Amino acid sequence: MQKTWAVALRIALVCLGANGAVQAEEAAPDLANLRYSPLKEITTENVSRLTPVWTFSTGVLRGHEGAPLVVGGVIYVHTPFPNIVYALDLDHDGKILWKYEPRQDAGVVPLMCCDTISRGLAYGDGKIFLYQADTTLVALDAKTGAPVWSVKNGDPAKGATGTSAPALIKDKVLVGVSGGEFGFRGYLTAYDVKTGAKLWRAYSVGPDADTLIDPEKTTELGKPVGKESSLASWQGDQWKIGGGAPWGRISYDAAENLIYYGTGNPSTWNPTQRPGDNKWSMAIFARDVDTGVARWVYQMTPHDEWDYDGVNEMILTDASGGRKVLTHFDRNGFAYVLDRADGDLISADKYDPAVNWASRIDMDKSSKSYGRPIVDGAYSTQQNGEETVTHGVCPSTVGAKNANPAAYSALTGLFYAPMIRLCMDYEPFQITYAAGQPYTGADTAVYPEKGETNMGALIGWDAASKRVVWSDPEPFAVASGVLATAGGLVFYGTLEGYLKAVDARSGKELYRFKTPSGIIGDVTSFERNGRQYIAVLSGAGGWSGVGLTAGLTHSDEGANSPGVYAALANYTALGGQLTVFALK
């Protein structure tokens, strides 16, 4: 099922799907997570003529993340809980072909950390794959919407929920699990695409037998990780409730037969309660897709003290000289570039100059701290202690960039990253674990970076020169997925609800349109009957818009992002809608 870019270019219908993947007539996914469309009817010269051609209301409030999925003449749309799936006819202005609404216990809603979102669907083998909030993975007949098979991937009673988009790779459907804020021990699972049978499961933390780590063959920074590397980095049985949930996107290199993904925060947020590096939370894993065995792993934020989940997407490109690399814009504010075959760390640089929790990543291979962040004690919540507020930590727990994906264009050689310009106060405290109950152990307060009136930006990043080439400020965090196109454009959405198009080389804004609600969805492009379309889901929510979804419309209501984003109520309202654009 894997297609090269040359093949993908020859297929009549191309679209960027929910997993940052190109979907087409034959569903050839962009598993490199480039989020680049080869379509070029819409250009820098004519994008000003872009106009909505039809819309569709999902009938669901809360945050609409991910992207619609296009296969043939059908566009598949998903919603937040209750996770409705619609199949719409592209040739008849979105006529509803079928609707699937799962029956779920609404008791799962309070367990969902950051709104009731779903990050999208996957397609393959004639099936649409939906990962429900209650961790049910269901395969639907793409033509009729009838369920073919379903499996349960976790136990909500213990805090497990499903928010990520499934990834279809070879004969497998891969899904992670959310629940790190409830002390749920995270894992990635591979299921058979035809039957739903479980093929393998790899935990993020715990014994080698659970993490599918070979102590001699699995490496970190070129050296074997050693026997029981995860257990040795936890105190006692803390690993059993250690978090490390992999709820982000998954990439795949067919030549290496490796998948790449990141793991989330260790539990609890109070670092004093979990001495050690807490491996392998906050890490990038490279695993054999057929066996799940890890070839290499790299921990970005050992003994996390700030909730910098490492789940952001891995973008696979070829660097100068043809070296196969992985680029990762982490929540901690550093952009990492690694050799994706062996995990060699090539570079690690701040992509937000305001980052202060660490001065740098040690790149001296002869140093004992090689590959580790050099933490500034003034911003160490561990060193400052429990029930002590650490002020002015940048970035905030939301990250310098969250899980909404960046894009890469081979035309410019630039990455386009959606930014969050927020800092925080952080106060850890003792907490007792109880299954199914929040297990955070910290209070946070979030606010704009010092001297900044804007809380977000879209940046053009040059990985070769390790610098921001241009930056477009935004009043609120940029929480949508970015799309680059062969027309020389970069598309993204804003929390106020604007779809914007900018020049890929300069960042100059060329187009904007106000949709009915804030955009946290991923912009997508597809072709039908010789015409290029742009599509995006509106629907304010997610972590960045949780204040609006929770009804916190005054700045003194709530902590963290609710207070920061209270002003959103002056610009947008809740509501889910698909908007499809084309040239006049």
HEC secondary structure over 324-380? EEEEEECCCCEEEEEECCCCCEEEEEECCCCCCCEEEECCCCCCCCCCCEEECHHHC
H or E segment to which residue 453 belongs:
none
The answer to whether 386 touches 270, Cβ cutoff 8 Å, is yes
Q: Report how far apart, in Å, the C-alpha atoms of 204 and of each of 164, 207, 260 are.
A: 16, 10, 13
35 is in an annotated binding site: no
How many alpha carbons fall within 13 Å on the CB side of residue 46? 9
The amino acid at residue 551 is G
387 is in an annotated binding site: no
The answer to whether 565 touches 540, Cβ cutoff 8 Å, is no
93 is in an annotated binding site: no
E-assigned strands of 1-47? 14-16, 22-24, 36-37
Respond yes or no: is residue 443 known to be catalytic: no
Closest CA to 266 of 65, 433, 445, 386: 433
For residue 85, the cross-strand partners are 78, 100
Burial of residue 319 (CB within 10 Å: 0-12, 13-18, 19+) is middle
Phi, psi torsion values for 239, nearest 5 degrees: -60, -25
Residue 157 to residue 184: CA distance in whole angstroms? 10
End-to-end CA distance of the chain: 35
171 is in an annotated binding site: no
Strand 483-485 to strand 36-37: parallel, antiparallel, or no bridges (unpaired)? parallel
Q: List the catalytic residue out of 134, 304, 307, 309.
A: 307
**Residue 502: strand, helix, or coil:** strand
Closest CA to 493 of 468, 470, 476, 469: 476
List, in order, residues 6 or more apart from 506 with CB less than 8 Å away: 470
Q: What is the DSSP letter of 104?
A: -
**Residue 425: strand, helix, or coil:** strand
List, in order, residues 6 or more apart from 469 with CB less than 8 Å away: 414, 459, 460, 461, 462, 507
313 is in an annotated binding site: no
Residue 494 to residue 511: CA distance in whole angstroms? 13
291 is in an annotated binding site: no
Residue 97 to residue 551: CA distance in whole angstroms? 34
At 339, list the tokens: 């050799």
Output the known binding site: 65, 119, 163, 181, 265, 307
Task: Just list the catalytic residues.
Answer: 307
Output the known binding site for pyrroloquinoline quinone: 65, 119, 163
Output the known binding site for Ca(2+): 181, 265, 307
